[in-house]
Amino acid sequence: MSLRPLRLCIIDMNNAHVNQAMRCLRGIAASFFEHVAAHNPQLSCELVEVSPRDTFDPVPRDCDLYVSSGGPGSPFDGDGTPWADDYGRFSDGVVESAARGGAEARALFAVCYSFEMVVRHFQVAQIAPRAERKFGVMPIYTTSEGQRHPLLAAFGDRLFAFEHRNWEAVEPDESRLRALGGKVLARESRDGVSKGRALLALDVAPGIEAVQFHPEADRPGVMNWVARPEQAAAFKAVYGEVTYQAMLRTLENPLSLAIFRRFGDAARAYAGGARAHRAA
């Protein structure tokens, strides 16, 4: 029996803005395809890209795996527009397909802006503006559920990741999340309050996992960003020189460098767990 291609779709939410994220996501996709080829040489892979916010193209429904990127602007910007309505229907379809199971099940991994869109759509928390922008390499605190989840289990109770956001998910609706079969995987603070109240990673519902931070960010991209004089000055103005220097030390630490590589491995494991042996 022949294998039909494994199709991975990157949903570009950058609204035609050029940044490092798409380079990183394409690199992760290429690495994953190499992984598939090594273990399933008869299985071909196809990469599909769609940019709904600026082209208004609908998200294709014939892919197996979806990675939906971050992007600029407010998660409320698209309210009432065809592309946002389509994204909501697409998200519902992913959950329905995953709940049915079988060869047609799909999976979505949503990052930052897409995280905010998914949280709003499924009404699992409130999306609110931050008093000030949060940006830089920041600690992410996993919950007990997160420490057992395949996406974050490798990191123990804390990891460091790049954040760049003006919005946050707060006040989770625990009953709604439970009804969907979801879980809170990571928070901004260990106690949920002292360093901020934001939810940073969710297993939203069958087939959908989402993070507020940027796991795709690699060391060269982050170093390029933090080394820019205007970004360094803005960071120091908010967090201070001591925190800026601590962030640089984190980036220079070989153990921290492994974090970037390890999240690439986690992304491959996320994708590799889904339908790599599907028959036509």
- Residue-wise pLDDT for 80-137, tens only, equals 999 999 999 999 999 999 999 988 899 999 999 999 999 999 999 999 999 888 888 8
* pLDDT of 233: 86
Whether pLDDT at 73 is above 50: yes
Nearest to 68 by CA among 81, 42, 41, 86: 86
* pLDDT of 254: 52
Where are the chain's structural domains?
6-218+254-272
C-alpha–C-alpha distance, residues 200 and 168, integer Å: 8
Q: In what helix (H) or strand (E) does residue 133 lie, and over which residues does it extend?
A: strand 126-142
* pLDDT of 64: 94
The total number of residues shown for the chain amounts to: 280
- Residue-wise pLDDT for 173-212, tens only, equals 999 999 999 999 999 999 888 888 999 999 999 999 999 9
C-alpha–C-alpha distance, residues 270 and 176, integer Å: 24
* pLDDT of 256: 54
Q: In what helix (H) or strand (E) does residue 114 lie, and over which residues does it extend?
A: helix 113-122
How does DSSP classify residue 155? G
Q: In what helix (H) or strand (E) does residue 130 lie, and over which residues does it extend?
A: strand 126-142
User: Mean pLDDT for the chain?
Assistant: 87
- CATH number of the 6-218+254-272 domain: 3.40.50.880
* pLDDT of 246: 81
Determine how many CB atoms are found less than 10 A away from the CB of residue 158: 11
* pLDDT of 103: 85
Q: Name the pTM for this structure.
A: 0.87
C-alpha–C-alpha distance, residues 265 and 260, integer Å: 9
- Residue-wise pLDDT for 218-263, tens only, equals 888 777 777 788 888 888 887 788 888 887 877 776 555 444 444 4
Q: Is the dihedral of CA 186, 108, 32, 220 positive or negative?
A: negative
